[in-house]
């Protein structure tokens, strides 16, 4: 079942919203990306992103085959007025790399963010992914991590709330 959303052909690549028919291909892409997910988890991810305003999971379709994926969302800026876009992940199947698929996905993500009123698109990338860093730099992205640190705290959903006395 195809979710509503615009499709665009960029070069020889059709960029369209992901749907449940793409689950098997997305399982493989998540594995190649280094973030393996089960089919059930991929379905849940697609559903969550589909239900979230100003967020989209897009796939690159090359001759009927899912060749890559990107997830983009938008949120309000806190240090000033406006919105920013966040690229949560971009992966291209090994068999389709260096053929413009990643560029098409990135341009589509930028287009969505711009259309949502964002003044920038931000992303993080593991230090071990040098090819990805080169890719983003070649598309005009600047590394700013020497100015900022990134901290993550994982929550254990089976334990009491991480912060007592405060509720959402």
Provide DSSP, 140-165: T----TTT---------TTSS-SSTT
For helices 23-33 and 39-50, the axis angle rounded to 10 degrees is 100
How many domains does the chain fold into?
1
Determine the pLDDT at residue 103: 93
> Whole domain around residue 110: which residue ranges?
8-138
Whether 156 maps to a domain, the answer reads: no
pTM listed for this prediction: 0.82
Yes or no: say if 51 and 43 are a contact pair by the CB < 8 Å rule.
no
Whether 126 maps to a domain, the answer reads: yes
CATH at residue 123: 3.40.630.30
Determine the pLDDT at residue 1: 31
3-state DSSP call for residue 97? coil
- In tens, the pLDDT along 2-54 reads 333 556 666 678 999 999 999 999 999 999 999 999 999 999 999 999 999 99
Whether 91 maps to a domain, the answer reads: yes
């Amino acid at each position: 079942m195809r979710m509503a959303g615009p499709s665009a052909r960029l070069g020889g690549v059709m960029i369209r919203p992901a749907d449940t028919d793409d689950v098997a291909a997305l399982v493989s892409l998540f594995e190649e990306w280094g973030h393996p997910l089960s089919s059930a988890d991929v379905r849940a991810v697609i559903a969550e992103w589909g239900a979230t305003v100003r967020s989209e999971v897009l796939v690159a379709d090359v001759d009927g085959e899912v060749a890559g994926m990107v997830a983009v969302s938008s949120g309000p800026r806190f240090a000033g007025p406006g919105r920013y876009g966040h690229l949560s992940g971009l992966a291209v199947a090994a068999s389709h790399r260096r053929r413009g698929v990643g560029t098409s996905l990135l341009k589509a993500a930028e287009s969505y963010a711009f259309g949502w009123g964002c003044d920038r698109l931000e992303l993080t990338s593991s230090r071990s992914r040098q090819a990805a860093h080169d890719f983003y730099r070649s598309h005009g992205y600047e590394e700013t991590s020497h100015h900022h640190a990134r901290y993550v705290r994982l929550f254990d959903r089976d334990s009491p709330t991480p912060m007592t006395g405060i509720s959402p």
